[in-house]
Copies of this chain bind each other. A is one copy, B any other.
Amino acid sequence: MQIFKIGVIGGSKCNSKILRLAEEVGEEIAKRGAVLICGGLGGVMEAACKGAKNKGGTTVGILPGIKKESANQHVDIPIVTGLGEARNVIIVRSSDGLIAVDGRYGTLSEIAFALRFEKPLVGLHTWNVDEHIIKAETPEEGIEKLFEKMKGR
């Protein structure tokens, strides 16, 4: 059986409403038995990891820096790249599909790479820059649509 890897992309700074959405996204991913991939830091990344762990999931944090201690406390597997923002490419390449939640320029770069590599991509209250981003209003709808898209491949 294939275990899907789902990338959650979003900023390290966001408001509490976005944090709740991100936590739900993590929960939905774990409920479907998928592994959560993210940048491993705070904000959306931390909330999503927390959600995944709430439901017994597995989390991977692909860190920009050189210290594993920079990972949020809900990361099971820290990947320490030391590559700075170039690690964004690895998050996208390692994911079978991605969901963007809010986010600023770093997230925009990841959206661009997801489109470039033709990965299924859902957007939840994020950059609206391309028709290939599947829009969703809720975490449940977003993850549902993402899995449909991945299974259809």
A51 smallest CB distance to B (angstroms)? 19
A18 within 8 A of B: no
Do residues B106 and A112 form an inter-chain contact, with CB atoms below 8 A?
Answer: yes
A128 smallest CB distance to B (angstroms)? 9
Contacting residue for A116 out of B5, B106, B130, CB 8 A: B106
Q: How many monomers of this protein are in the complex?
A: 4
A129 within 8 A of B: yes
Known: A89-B85, A94-B78. A105 touches B109 (CB 8 A): no
A79-122 residues with Cβ-Cβ distance < 8 A to B are 79-86, 89-90, 93-94, 104-106, 108-109, 111-113, 115-116
A146 smallest CB distance to B (angstroms)? 17
Known: A60-B77, A79-B90. A116 touches B109 (CB 8 A): yes
